[in-house]
Structure 1
């Protein structure tokens, strides 16, 4: 039987603040959302693990974006795991769920199925992109792949690009309730120190891997003590507390940070959701000439497209595509 607590907190991100430490954070629980992300594809376990970690990172980071904004993570490497891409769509209206989707591109012939998943990325970069909507310039930030996990990469990104000390504690995997099929679950906590007093740190001052900035380069004095104390408390978290489903995020915060005066805000519901559609395919194809479209046309006389995120299949009359289109989409004649 599914408990009411499990129903209440699955697929949510709960923002909080530690008033004593001047630290903010979020607790994420992904159940059906993550299961739906991964069941769109038959990824090998080593790739599933990377997509799961990227998805929970995206939920934790994305909760801060405004209504109708989109946040994307991209992890590109020279190893067999070539690309991990995720999107978080902010709610269209207050009180509505956010949406998340993800996919991976990999070289199956080079993939080591027995290796630690992060090792399959190799040299590359970790990118955060924010789309603020029509007529707004998108934001893009990049840092090199660093550390031993995608969480480490995200922590490095925030220290280097935003100069905000950040910490993630994540866990994910398949969970099976007696009498039910195994399904993916993930949970995590994100901590961020409020922007420190004293302004920006010179980029060349980094003491982290490869000369990148770390929290030690950004914080000092009481701020550094608060950050160290909060991280030591987070170090005591157990995987079952992160992933649930029987430990409520509010109870977890009290257990970890009761001396830091935790204060919670409204939780954000997160669902799996894809933004693909025939009109977006038509728009993407509008840059091609009739000659290009002809090369894309199958023996059956149609142009096909498949969404990398959700696997949805589309077929089009070639005459409706490209900047030389002779028919409007949907025309029967």
Structure 2
């Protein structure tokens, strides 16, 4: 494989369909994107792994949303890994890259920095939010933390909230290639039964705490097709998921050639944050002058930092809030 073909599939999401089994899916590769996401913060290894997994899930799920829509994934728990939040912004125009950003909050005093991150989330919930833009009511779906990974939480969400059998197989971690430094790489495959093939389930499920799982919402040929595709996905190796030695179309042929895979146009992705001085100012517009006064530092300014990209903003307090005395100037 040439260097050019390796680069062609870096930071892309490739949608596909298995025509024989009526299953759709996506293959995602994140490398430069993930490096940039994690470079914004000095996270301990346990949190880095959670952010990497969440970013990969976000890329795989987010590819289905429409232009200019925003998809957000959140995991909140009562353990030391308190919050993992990611955003996927659909491209502004056809052919443009989508954007991903991610952020984590954790209790440093309670966290085991090198331990497994998922048990350190504790009890909580997994949420998916879709913002369709101005004038539209955002969609939100929530399921309890379940299973042994963020991938399991996402699978439970789709079974419980969307009644769509869904499977993720992910690989991620730091790697070093010849003549290159250490960098993060991630790759994964998502399988999902086509909506019209999935019957509606009622009652409790066979999953953790009675939650539904994939086998609870399938029967007959659909279940047989699903089980066959999952057995094929079980054979994937981590190096095949992460790349770059195996490109994504070749990976699909290796895994699913008997299922007649059909690929569609790939979606490029990049790291991107939407923060700006205007957005911060807008978020502070609900506060009174007294509230703004409490936010003002001894140096006479109001500061704000973006949790996703680390951008730092400073404002004249007289220009903030619904009682602003002056028009905005050249705040940084």
TM-score by length of 1: 0.97
1:6 maps onto 2:36 in alignment = no
1:290 maps onto 2:289 in alignment = yes
Partner residue in 2 for 1:272:
271
Cα pair 1:89 1:99 within 8 Å, conserved = yes
Alignment of 1:294-333 (within 5 A): 294-330=293-329
1:179 positional shift: 2.5
Alignment of 1:156-167 (within 5 A): 156-167=156-167
Cα pair 2:292 2:320 within 8 Å, conserved = yes
Task: Say which is worse superposed, 249-258 or 170-179, in terms of deviation.
Answer: 170-179
Large movers: runs of 4+ above 4 Å: 196-199
Partner residue in 1 for 2:252:
253
1:148 maps onto 2:127 in alignment = no
Return the alpha-carbon distance in structure 2 between the equivalents of residues 326 and 185 of structure 1: 49
Alignment of 1:1-333 (within 5 A): 3-197=3-197, 199-202=199-202, 204-330=203-329
- In structure 1, runs of 5+ residues without a counterpart are none
Q: SS where residue 205 of structure 1 aligns?
A: coil
Q: SS where residue 158 of structure 1 aligns?
A: helix
Return the alpha-carbon distance in structure 1 between the equivalents of residues 320 and 39 of structure 2: 31
1:300 positional shift: 1.1
Return the alpha-carbon distance in structure 2 between the equivalents of residues 205 and 74 of structure 1: 25
Cα pair 2:198 2:217 within 8 Å, conserved = no
TM-score by length of 2: 0.98
Cα pair 1:12 1:270 within 8 Å, conserved = yes
Distance 1:37 1:198, change over 3 A: closer
Deviations 1:270-316 (A, max 9, x none): 00000000000000000111011111111111100000000000000
Cα pair 1:196 1:218 within 8 Å, conserved = no
Return the alpha-carbon distance in structure 2 between the equivalents of residues 25 and 288 of structure 1: 45
Q: How many residues align?
A: 331
Q: SS where residue 288 of structure 1 aligns?
A: coil
Return the alpha-carbon distance in structure 2 between the equivalents of residues 34 and 241 of structure 1: 18
Distance 1:118 1:2, change over 3 A: farther
1:114 positional shift: 3.5
Return the alpha-carbon distance in structure 2 between the equivalents of residues 198 and 123 of structure 1: 30
Cα pair 1:169 1:188 within 8 Å, conserved = yes
1:113 positional shift: 2.1
Return the alpha-carbon distance in structure 1 between the equivalents of residues 330 and 174 of structure 2: 46
